[in-house]
Amino acid sequence: MRVAVVGATGLVGTTMIKSLEERNFPISTFYPVASSRSVGKEVTFKGKVYKIIGMQEAVDLRPDIAIFSAGGSVSLEWAPKFAAVGTTVIDNSSAWRMDPSKRLVVPEINAHVLTPEDKIIANPNCSTIQMVVALNPLHKKYGIKRVVVSTYQSVTGTGKKAVDQMMNEREGKEGEMAYPYPIDQNVLPHIDVFLDNGYTKEEMKMVLETKKIMEDDNIKVTATAVRIPVMGGHSESVNVEFEKDFDLNEVRQLLAESPGVVVLDDPSQNLYPMPLIHAHHKDDVFVGRLRRDETQANTLNMWIVSDNLRKGAATNAIQIAEYLVAHNLIEATVEV
């Protein structure tokens, strides 16, 4: 495969490159792509140095796959141009997620919807991905009625500028601000822009994307998305009401047997998922603190943690590409 990574210099882009290496994705030619200000800079892939190229040059090279992590406006402008020359685009921005003509995919759940005609495929929001990976096997068994989720999201979800802000604050340095307030030793109940209904765009992404990925508009979701001063992954407190009653041991077994899920749930040994200890640099979704909600029937409390740059972004996109290749939904260009 001839593969382009668009946004190759960003936090997600660099993680994509690393993940492509680690997963040994079948690449014959690699194209790192970024904005004009980064053209000519160098990145390393599998021990070889590559110069970053611009968007139009990348389109002209007609890669088989272009994995985007360059922001919504860039995706809206350039993804159709790549698709027009036959490239399959896997886009990590929010640009195409709720477009009814585009697939929104978490491979463990709904890769079956993909076809060779899908030339722009949307990668879901990081918080949504980790939540639905854990919820899907339980939904199949018990039927989800309602989800109440509060997130505890890493500064890496905002990007390098936010990481720099936090580190500058820790060191007592002045610097650019990614957030309207200090983030170190603080908590911001504010991710993305506020909407007319009082929710943020991040919160509504979780509401709408969950329904689309799980192919069930009847699932009710309400979310509060919160930024905290950590790196390594996002954490979520999730309260799930089911149609049917459940057995906790069966819940643990269902989760443990589900692809991409690791159960860490032994309070007697202080075993529960944490971003720094368990999720950082990993591709799995970690689940623990499993317990009944004693105030309401058929309701489960759970704690879900995952590396937002990996499964929440880069790895999920690459898993989509792996599925396309494995199921012959994309053909490699024969180079002469």
Please report whether residue 104 resides in a domain.
Answer: yes
Q: Do 187 and 86 share a domain, yes or no?
A: no
pLDDT at 11: 93
Residue 77 lies in a domain: yes
316 Cβ contact list (under 8 Å, min separation 6): 106, 107, 123, 124, 129
| 162 and 199 together in one domain | yes
User: Residue 135: what are its φ and ψ, rounded to 5°?
Assistant: -80, -30
What is the residue range of 50's domain? 2-123+313-326
Domain assignment present for 334: no
The pLDDT value recorded for residue 333 is 65
User: Token digits for 243?
Assistant: 């149609």
Give the pLDDT confidence score for residue 40 in this predicted structure: 92
Domain harbouring 202, CATH code? 3.30.360.10
Is residue 181 located within the same domain as residue 277? Answer: yes
Strand order in the sheet with 261-263: 220-224, 144-152, 234-242, 299-306, 285-292, 261-263
Shared domain for 183 and 279, answered yes or no, is yes
Question: Same structural domain for residues 227 and 160?
Answer: yes
pLDDT digits (tens, 9 = 90+) for 258-303: 999 999 999 999 999 999 999 999 999 999 999 999 999 999 999 9
- pLDDT band with cut points at 50, 70 and 90 for residue 331: confident
Rounded CA separation 95/104 (Å): 11
Distance in angstroms (rounded) separating the CA atoms of residues 6 and 31: 8
* 331 assigned to some structural domain: no
Looking at the fold, whether 280 and 223 belong to one and the same domain comes out as yes
Q: Is residue 99 part of a domain?
A: yes
Compare 332 and 191 and report the one with higher pLDDT: 191
Say yes or no: 95 and 173 in one domain. no
- Of the chain, the percentage scoring pLDDT greater than 90 comes to 96
Q: Mean pLDDT for the chain?
A: 96
Which sign does the torsion angle of CA 41, 44, 45, 50 carry? Answer: positive
| DSSP H or E run through 241 | strand 234-242
CATH of the domain at 31: 3.40.50.720
319 and 272 within one domain: no
Choose among 314, 315, 285: nearest CA to 302.
285
Q: Which runs of consecutive H residues, i.e. helices, occur in the chain?
A: 11-22, 55-61, 72-84, 107-110, 126-142, 160-171, 201-213, 248-256, 315-326
Q: What is the pLDDT of residues 45-77, one digit of tens each?
A: 999 999 999 999 999 999 999 999 999 999 999
- How many domains does the chain divide into? 2
Question: Active-site residue numbers?
Answer: 126, 234
**272 in Cβ contact with 263 (< 8 Å):** no
pLDDT in tens, 98-108: 999 999 999 99
Residue 224's pLDDT is: 98
Shared domain check, 136 and 114: no
Q: What is the pLDDT of residue 335?
A: 53
- Are residues 263 and 202 located together in one domain of the fold? yes
- Over residues 133-190, the pLDDT tens digits come to 999 999 999 999 999 999 999 999 999 999 999 999 999 999 999 999 999 999 999 9
333 inside domain? no
Are 319 and 278 in the same domain? Answer: no
Residue % of the chain over a pLDDT of 70: 99
Whether 217 maps to a domain, the answer reads: yes
Residues 126-139, mean pLDDT to the nearest whole number: 98
**Is 73 in the same domain as 218?**
no
Residue 137 lies in a domain: yes
